[in-house]
Each structure stands twice: as structure tokens, then as C-alpha cells.
């Protein structure tokens, strides 16, 4: 059976969580654990989709539903597809599992759907539908094509159709994933997860363009609180024998509550914005060390960042105990994500020892290399799966 498979990595935050909410840079790194999405055409006589063998329920999978609507506006009639999702990223633990799913699914569905070009050159300027066909809450690249201008017959002989991996563009997948994350999360989503799961390696998100790192694009989102804009940078860190060990406390602490807690603390004590600023300074120093491949300094910056996170009240006794257990065998360790529970991350040259120490202290561990590859189309038939039956 013809099929398409795409995969995307999870992520953890190395520096800058919480301070990023106030405009400072945050650094995320892609991990080895991935989500794989496989798509096949089914022989169904109806246009129903299947997900992991069951009838697809849009309410249970808002990300997939949003992608379906975006890629197959009703006039285009989605073909009957069967989707299978597999992965090693624990859900709801701040490791980007939902973004990795959105990114991998957007690539697989785009490969299945194909793309119309206005002439023979495959570049965003020539994409007949542009980056977006429906959800216009984000804006990247210049795109001269008016939205929804496709297939009106006026493209004449110049029209070209491409499918499979040729139709997939990483920036577009990052954009699609950000848009569907926002839809699934009530209009609020930073592009941190969607960009890291798309580009892989190291991604830096900030309110301003950061000097010395390769800037990729800006991302906008109209949130319930107004428009926000982020600058996204990405780079491949110098190779080195360092690993990440992620320790999961198993305690669920919703991100929104942690963010609210910090906001309240700052409202009551405006002078404590100094601590947030310090996190921003540490993150910038950490980025420089990363670019230089100085992982000893990266580790030190992570541990300093942790002291600040502790000070603003987002750590927890369980996180502290895993961080302490990791300390003797690692270059640095800190909580990763929103805190209050969830995960910690250690940077180490001895992942086995660090992992055992964290497990002994009660954490469930994941070992990863540093800065995994991003979105990959693993297999793609070039035959269009898009033709509706």
C-alpha cells in the first residue's frame, strides 16, 4: 500500500522559560525522541478518515482536524485517509509532544495533498495557494500570491502540481503547526515548540532579533490579549560528546497556572522583575557559550538559570531532588518548561551515571543526544494521494 511517513522531534527548554513571556530570549533544543505520522489512502467509499484504526474524531484530535480543514478546504474534498501515530515523547510533560505531532502531521498531509505551482520553480513565491489557505493568524515570508487564488483556471498551462517530499517545506510546516497549536489551545501558543520540532537542533525565540545568531523569520499571532510577534533564530550547535538526560517527576503542573503565578508575583512585587531580567542575561550568555561549543559554560549557565527559577517560585521539592541527584555527574541541571512539576534536564558527558542517579531519586528518565535533527519526511510515494475518489 502506498504510504507517506514523516517524523518530528520533541524538545526541551535549555534557558529562558518564564522570562520569554516578558520578551527575553529562550533557548530550546530538539531531542532524539520523535513522533511518527504515517498516512495511507484507504479504500473507503465514504470520505471518512481513520486514526489509529478508529473513525477519526475531530474533537479528540483538534490539531489534525485543523490541518485537514487547512489543507482540504471543502471544495477540494479530502480523500479517505488512514493516519497512524507512533512516538516516544511522553505527553503533557513540556517535551513538545503535541507540536511534534502537528509538525509531522502537517508534513505528511502536505506530501499527501501536494501543491500547485504557478510555474516550474518550486519556491514560496510560486506556490499557488501561498503558505495559507484558510487560517490567517500568522504571517511569514513575502508571498505575492493572493490567498485562495488557486485553480481558477487562470493559471493556464503554467500550472504544475508536485507531490510527496517535494511539496513539503519546513518553514511552512512550522507555520501550520503553530497555527493549529493556537487553534487547539484557545488562541494562545508561542511558536517555540512548533519551530523547534520543525527545524531541530537549537532554536532561540525572542521579542527582538538577537545578535550573532542566524535569524530565520518572525512569527505573529493574534491572541485574546492582542497581537504578539516573536523572532525565531536557529542554529546547529558544534558537535561534542554531550548528552541530555531528562528526568520526569510524573507530577502534572499546567503551564498556564505557573505563568499566572509568576505574573501575580510580579504584580505584587514589581521590583522582582530584576530576577526575570537576570534570566534573560543568563540565557544570552548561555547562547554565546553554545555557539562557541563551550559546554562547561553552558552547564554552569543552566544551573544559574535554575537558581533564578527557584527564586521566582516555579521549582518544586521533587524537581529540586532530581536536580540535586544529577548535579555530581553533570555539567549543569535545571527544570525545563513551566516547572511546578513536569521535567528537569541535565547536560552531561556521562548519561548512564546521570540517568541512574535521577532514577534513584524517583524520576523517570530519557536520554538524548544534544540537538536532534528536525522534521524529516521518512518515506513518501510520489503518486498523489490527494485525488478524491
- Give the footprint of ligand PMV on this chain (CB under 6 A): 13, 17-18, 20-21, 94, 190, 255, 258-259, 337-338
Distance of CA 6 to the CA centre of its chain: 15
Q: Which is nearer to ligand PMV, 259 or 361 (CB)?
A: 259
CB of 146: closest distance to ligand PMV in angstroms? 33
Cβ contact 101:63 at 8 Å: yes
CB of 135: closest distance to ligand PMV in angstroms? 20
Q: Which is nearer to ligand PMV, 17 or 129 (CB)?
A: 17
CB of 343: closest distance to ligand PMV in angstroms? 8
β partners of residue 28:
13, 203
Q: Which is nearer to ligand PMV, 259 or 266 (CB)?
A: 259
Half-sphere exposure of 49 (CA within 13 A, CB side): 23
CB of 187: closest distance to ligand PMV in angstroms? 13
List the one residue out of 315, 297, 298 whose CA is nearest residue 306.
Answer: 315
Residue 164 burial (CB count, 10 A): 19
Pairing state between β 81-87 and 50-51? parallel
Q: If DSSP codes are grouped into helix, strand and coil, which group holds residue 384?
A: coil
CB of 366: closest distance to ligand PMV in angstroms? 14
Q: Which is nearer to ligand PMV, 67 or 309 (CB)?
A: 309
- Name 226's Cβ contacts closer than 8 Å, sequence gap at least 6: none
Q: Which is nearer to ligand PMV, 83 or 346 (CB)?
A: 346
**Strand positions, DSSP E, the chain:** 3-15, 26-41, 50-51, 54-55, 81-87, 115-117, 160-162, 202-206, 215-223, 226-235, 243-248, 332-336, 343-348, 364-369, 376-380
Half-sphere exposure of 135 (CA within 13 A, CB side): 26
Q: Which is nearer to ligand PMV, 190 or 278 (CB)?
A: 190
CB of 258: closest distance to ligand PMV in angstroms? 6
Residue nearest ligand PMV, CB atom distance: 337
Q: Which is nearer to ligand PMV, 228 or 373 (CB)?
A: 228
Task: Output the nine-digit C-alpha cell for 350.
Answer: 556521562
CB of 382: closest distance to ligand PMV in angstroms? 36
For residue 242, give Cα distances in angstroms to 71, 312, 354. 40, 29, 12
Amino acid at each position: 500500500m502506498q504510504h507517506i511517513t514523516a517524523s518530528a522531534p520533541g524538545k526541551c527548554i535549555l534557558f529562558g522559560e518564564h522570562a520569554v513571556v516578558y520578551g527575553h530570549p529562550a533557548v530550546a533544543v530538539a531531542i532524539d525522541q520523535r513522533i511518527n505520522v504515517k498516512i495511507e489512502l484507504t479504500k473507503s467509499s465514504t470520505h471518512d478518515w481513520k486514526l489509529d484504526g478508529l473513525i477519526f474524531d475531530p474533537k479528540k484530535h483538534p490539531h489534525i482536524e485543523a490541518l485537514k480543514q487547512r489543507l482540504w478546504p471543502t471544495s477540494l474534498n479530502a480523500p479517505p485517509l488512514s493516519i497512524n501515530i507512533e512516538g516516544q515523547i511522553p505527553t503533557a510533560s513540556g517535551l513538545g509532544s503535541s507540536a511534534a505531532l502537528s509538525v509531522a502531521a502537517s508534513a505528511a498531509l502536505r506530501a499527501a495533498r501536494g501543491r500547485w505551482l504557478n510555474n516550474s520553480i518550486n519556491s514560496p513565491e510560486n506556490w499557488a495557494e501561498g503558505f495559507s489557505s484558510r487560517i490567517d493568524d500568522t504571517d511569514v515570508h513575502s508571498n505575492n500570491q493572493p490567498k485562495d487564488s488557486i485553480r481558477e483556471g487562470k493559471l493556464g498551462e503554467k500550472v504544475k502540481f508536485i507531490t510527496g517530499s517535494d511539496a513539503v517545506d519546513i518553514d511552512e510546516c512550522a507555520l501550520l503547526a503553530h497555527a493549529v497549536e493556537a487553534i487547539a489551545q484557545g488562541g494562545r501558543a508561542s511558536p517555540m515548540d512548533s519551530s523547534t520540532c520543525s527545524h531541530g537542533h537549537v532554536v532561540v525565540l525572542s521579542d527582538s532579533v538577537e545578535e550573532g545568531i542566524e535569524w530565520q523569520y518572525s512569527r505573529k499571532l493574534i491572541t485574546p490579549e492582542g497581537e504578539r510577534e516573536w523572532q525565531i533564530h536557529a542554529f546547529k550547535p558544534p558537535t561534542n560528546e554531550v548528552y541530555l538526560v531528562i528526568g520526569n517527576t510524573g507530577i502534572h503542573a499546567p503551564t498556564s497556572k505557573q505563568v499566572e503565578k509568576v505574573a501575580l508575583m510580579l504584580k505584587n512585587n514589581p521590583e522582582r522583575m530584576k530576577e526575570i531580567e537576570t534570566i534573560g542575561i543568563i540565557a544570552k550568555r548561555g547562547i554565546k557559550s553554545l555557539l562557541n561549543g563551550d559546554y562547561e559554560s553552558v552547564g554552569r549557565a543552566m544551573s544559574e538559570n535554575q537558581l533564578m527559577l527557584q527564586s521566582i517560585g516555579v521549582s518544586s521539592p521533587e524537581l529540586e531532588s532530581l536536580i540535586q541527584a544529577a548535579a555530581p555527574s553533570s555539567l549543569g541541571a535545571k527544570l525545563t518548561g513551566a516547572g511546578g512539576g513536569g521535567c528537569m534536564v541535565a547536560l552531561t558527558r556521562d548519561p548512564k551515571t546521570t540517568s541512574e542517579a535521577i532514577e534513584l531519586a524517583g524520576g523517570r528518565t530519557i536520554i538524548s543526544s544534544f540537538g536532534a535533527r528536525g522534521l524529516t519526511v521518512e518515506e513518501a510515494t510520489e503518486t498523489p494521494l490527494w485525488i478524491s475518489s
